[in-house]
């Protein structure tokens, strides 16, 4: 099985059992890896009507065939499970070095079930798994946890994925952190890990990932690296990280301001990537074998910090412009607090934004918040709330349940800017209409990693061979919906190959690389079929979790026109969705994949 280690580790934390299992070759061939393969295993192993935090619920760490090879920007891993935040299919992926190291340790993935009697951590060193007592590290922040485990293993190169206090307290927006500040952040995977009493997973090894055609692979890698060297998007990511997008985002109206309700704001310019580089950057940082190197190490001397990870664009939006905070250093510090406690900066920022909007609108008062005045522009209150959320203290315990829960609790569900209970990221579908499909149909709820149509319409994702054609960003037609669906399928495949979405050398080069590693002999159109199969499998899991056609929608606040870069545009969600259902082969009335579609995609077992 070229590209794979051929082995999965099954861990039952309730019994302490550790069992090696051969990787299911048919599953790998059909569902590839990462979130796709995790979804296939989950379908077999999970009680689909159970509580995501049920001890028997599986939590699946998974890599893909490109991970651990010399492929550019393929240093990622996925976690798949039922989400404690949304209640539906959840997936999250993180960069850094953990994914490749898991393969070097001898495994493609880890399936974890059960709940340890007392805090535990898992190590896999060169094919030898072991469960350890984590009582002495329970309560530590994510950075200290990673450092302590490396000390315990006496190996500074061990890679550690762990939770901080937020995961331990089962905060529904808790992340799994690895390689310092890298995060598998979305959908509350940290809460799931906390519910299993599992503090960390550490991996280390020296195994080699088999590649079917090493010479062909070398050649295509040369071509990919040459492309990335010249590529404008890669160059700006290298220069200023994902923060390089702030200026453009403000221009397009893509960066949400004041809880998605304001179209323009001068303060946004003070969050620009150029200012971040000039004023706060220490150095650039890269994931495993990534020539783009979008990672940043920055500093926040005003908060006594000489070394801080980030901030990413998403953090500058969610903890900056969304909350009307234009103090770069305060945003860097807020992002750092989220990393330390182990939380998703998007969900945390959006939930605090909702609290601000409710407070300023008189829906909640200091009597509800434990005396806190939660107002826009107040960085100090944001820093305080982050700690309260992570520890579930005071009003933080209410926010720890997420935006949808907060809005429902105070009788204003329409104020939650969520899709399927996942907070909307920092890309506004009023700026790029195709994002309406990405959000409304994303299997994990509002997600920019399953259809970055802003990238397509800015010409940064060359994939015309499979019908992903850049066009008018305000086009809200059925045909645009079809393009957005194809792109969503393409990104689902990226998440299954477990390669970074900032690496976009085009379909022919990706195809050559995949074939060189796996020897699958795929054609370009096969890639789209694979992506649609993954989307449809996750869709079926969600339908069994109670999702209906009614869930395919955008939040009310995003359907109101704004001035500024969005020029008053609002997407016609129904028209876009009609195109998307058609492209996927899902019934336009019910949103359910048809029998013909399931058969054509090799998903008969779902009928
Ligand atoms: S582009 Fe950034 S996130 Fe992607 S692999 Fe490279 S360093 Fe990691």
142 CA to middle of ligand 1, Å? 20
Give the phi and the psi of residue 22 in degrees, each rounded to 5. -65, 140
Q: Calculate how far, in angstroms, residue 414's C-alpha sits from the geometric centre of ligand 1.
A: 36
Task: Check: CB of residue 384 under 8 Å from CB of residue 372.
Answer: yes
Q: Which atom of ligand 1 is nearest to the CA of 288?
A: 5
Q: What is the mean pLDDT of the chain?
A: 98
From its phi and psi, is residue 127 left (phi > 0), alpha (psi between -120 and 50) or beta?
left
- Tell me the CA–centroid distance for residue 586 and ligand 1, in Å: 34
Give residue 517 CA to ligand 1 midpoint distance, Å: 21
What is the rounded CA–CA span in Å between residue 131 and residue 549?
43
The 10s digit of each residue's pLDDT in 229-254 is 999 999 999 999 999 999 999 999 99
Choice from 502, 503, 504 to test ligand 1 binding pocket (greatest atom count within 8 A of CB): 502
CA of 389 from ligand 1 middle (Å) equals 29
388 pLDDT tier (thresholds 50, 70, 90): very high
Ligand 1 nearest atom to the CA of residue 73, by list position: 5
Omega before 202 cis (within 30°)?
no
Burial of 477: CB neighbours in 10 Å, binned 0-12, 13-18, 19+: middle
Best mutation site among 234, 285, 294, 501 for ligand 1 pocket (most ligand atoms within 8 Å of CB) = 294
Distance 93 CA to ligand 1 centre (A): 12
Atom 5 in ligand 1: residue holding the nearest Cα: 73
**566, two tokens:** 């969005």
**Closest atom of ligand 1 to CA, residue 502:** 1
Kindly indicate the confidence band of residue 326, based on its pLDDT and cuts at 50, 70 and 90. Answer: very high
**Residue 135: predicted pLDDT:** 98
Question: Which residue minimizes the CA distance to atom 8 of ligand 1?
Answer: 287
Region 305-311: what's the mean pLDDT?
96
Q: Best of 64, 67, 73, 236 to mutate for ligand 1, by most ligand atoms within 8 A of CB?
A: 73
If you average pLDDT over residues 399-408, what whole number do you get?
A: 98
Q: How far is CA 172 from CA 191, 192, 380, 394, 499, in A?
A: 6, 8, 23, 16, 26
CA-nearest residue, atom 2 of ligand 1: 294
CA of 244 to the centre of ligand 1 (A): 14
pLDDT tens-place string over residues 26-63? 999 999 999 999 999 999 999 999 999 999 999 999 99
- pLDDT-derived band at 521 (thresholds 50, 70, 90) equals very high
Relative to the CA of 96, which ligand 1 atom is closest?
Answer: 8
So what's the pLDDT on residue 578?
A: 98
Tokens for 309, please give them.
Answer: 């990870």
Distances (CA, A) of 321 to 150, 257, 326, 358: 37, 5, 7, 17
Q: Are 129 and 122 in contact (CB under 8 A)?
A: yes
Distance 294 CA to ligand 1 centre (A): 5
Q: Could you tell me whether strands 120-125 and 59-62 are parallel, antiparallel, or unpaired per DSSP bridges? A: unpaired
Residue range 443-479, pLDDT digits in tens:
999 999 999 999 999 999 999 999 999 999 999 999 9
- Domains plus CATH for the chain? 7-204 (3.60.9.10), 249-411 (1.10.569.10), 432-606 (1.10.599.10)
Q: Is 558 helix (H, G, I), strand (E, B) or coil?
A: helix
Model pLDDT for residues 8-35, shown as the tens digit of each residue: 999 999 999 999 999 999 999 999 999 9
Host H or E run for residue 18: strand 17-22
What's the confidence (pLDDT) of residue 361? Answer: 98
SS3 readout for 101-127: HHHHCCCCEEEEECCCCCCEEEEEECC
Pocket-forming residues, ligand 1, beta carbon under 6 Å: 73, 75, 95, 237, 286-287, 290, 292-295, 500, 502
Ligand 1 probe mutation, 95, 225, 491, most atoms within 8 A of CB: 95
What is the pLDDT at residue 558?
98
Ligand 1 centroid from CA 334, angstroms? 22
Half-sphere exposure of 106 (CA within 13 A, CB side): 12
Q: What value, to the nearest 5°, has the Cα angle with vertex 176 and ends 496 and 50?
A: 75
Q: At what angle do helices 573-584 and 478-497 cross, to 10 degrees?
A: 60
Distance 281 CA to ligand 1 centre (A): 17
Percentage of residues in the chain with pLDDT exceeding 90? 100
Give the torsion sign (CA, 41, 45, 48, 50).
negative
The predicted structure's pLDDT at residue 153? 98
Question: Do 84 and 195 form a contact (C-beta atoms < 8 A)?
Answer: yes
Q: Which of 241, 295, 452 to mutate to test the pocket of ligand 1 (most atoms within 8 A of CB)?
A: 295
The residue to mutate among 287, 309, 504, having the most atoms of ligand 1 within 8 angstroms of its beta carbon, is 287
């Amino acid at each position: 099985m070229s590209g794979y280690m051929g082995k999965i580790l099954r861990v039952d934390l309730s019994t302490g059992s550790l069992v090696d299992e051969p990787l299911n070759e048919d599953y790998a061939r059909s569902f590839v890896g990462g979130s796709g393969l995790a979804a296939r295993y989950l379908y077999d192993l999970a009680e689909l009507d159970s509580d995501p935090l049920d001890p028997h619920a599986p939590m699946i760490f998974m890599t893909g065939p490109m991970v651990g090879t010399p492929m550019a920007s393929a240093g990622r891993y996925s976690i798949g499970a039922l989400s404690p935040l949304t209640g539906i299919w959840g997936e999250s992926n993180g960069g850094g070095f953990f994914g490749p190291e898991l393969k070097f340790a001898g495994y493609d993935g880890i399936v974890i079930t059960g709940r340890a009697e007392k805090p535990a951590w898992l190590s896999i060193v060169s094919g030898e798994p072991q469960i350890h007592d984590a009582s002495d590290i329970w309560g530590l922040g994510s950075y200290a946890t990673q450092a302590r485990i490396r000390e315990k293993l006496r190996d500074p190169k061990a890679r550690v994925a762990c939770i901080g206090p937020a995961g331990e307290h089962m905060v529904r927006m808790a992340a799994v952190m690895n390689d310092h500040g890298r995060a598998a952040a979305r959908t509350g995977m940290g809460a799931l890990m906390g519910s299993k009493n599992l503090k960390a997973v550490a991996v280390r090894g020296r195994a080699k990932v088999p590649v079917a055609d090493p010479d062909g692979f070398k050649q295509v890698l040369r071509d990919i690296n040459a492309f990335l060297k010249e590529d404008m998007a890669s160059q700006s990511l290298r220069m200023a990280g994902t923060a390089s997008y702030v200026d453009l985002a403000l221009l397009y109206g893509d960066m949400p301001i004041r809880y998605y309700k304001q179209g323009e704001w001068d303060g946004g310019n003070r969050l620009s990537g150029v200012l971040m580089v000039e004023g706060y950057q220490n150095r650039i940082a890269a994931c495993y074998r990534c020539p783009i190197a979008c990672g940043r190490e920055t500093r926040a001397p005003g908060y006594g910090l000489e070394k801080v990870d980030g901030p990413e664009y998403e953090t500058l939006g969610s903890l900056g412009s969304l909350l009307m905070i234009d103090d770069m250093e305060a945003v860097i510090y807020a992002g750092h607090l989220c990393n330390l406690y182990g939380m998703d900066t998007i969900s945390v920022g959006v939930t605090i934004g909702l609290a601000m909007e409710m407070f300023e609108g008189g829906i909640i008062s200091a009597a509800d918040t434990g005396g806190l005045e939660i107002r826009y522009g107040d960085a100090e209150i944001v820093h305080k709330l982050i700690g309260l959320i992570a520890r579930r203290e005071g009003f933080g315990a209410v926010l720890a349940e997420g935006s949808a829960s907060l809005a429902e609790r105070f009788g204003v569900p329409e104020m939650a800017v969520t899709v399927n209970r996942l907070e909307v990221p920092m890309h506004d579908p009023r700026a790029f209409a195709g994002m309406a499909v990405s959000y409304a149909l994303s299997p994990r709820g509002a997600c920019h990693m399953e259809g970055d149509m802003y990238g397509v319409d800015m010409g940064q994702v060359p994939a015309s061979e499979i019908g992903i054609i850049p066009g008018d960003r305000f086009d809200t037609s059925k045909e645009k919906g079809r393009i957005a669906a194809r792109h969503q399928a393409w990104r689902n495949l990226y998440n299954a190959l477990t390669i970074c979405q900032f690496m976009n050398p085009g379909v022919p080069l990706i195809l050559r690389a995949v074939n060189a590693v796996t020897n699958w002999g795929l054609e370009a159109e096969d890639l789209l079929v694979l992506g649609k199969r993954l989307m449809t499998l996750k869709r079926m899991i969600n339908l069994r979790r109670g999702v209906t056609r009614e869930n395919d929608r955008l939040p009310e606040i995003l359907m109101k026109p704004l001035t500024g870069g969005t020029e008053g545009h609002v997407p016609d969600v129904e028209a876009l969705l009609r195109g998307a259902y058609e492209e996927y082969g899902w019934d336009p009335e019910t949103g359910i994949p048809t029998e013909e579609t399931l058969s054509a995609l090799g998903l008969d077992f779902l009928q």
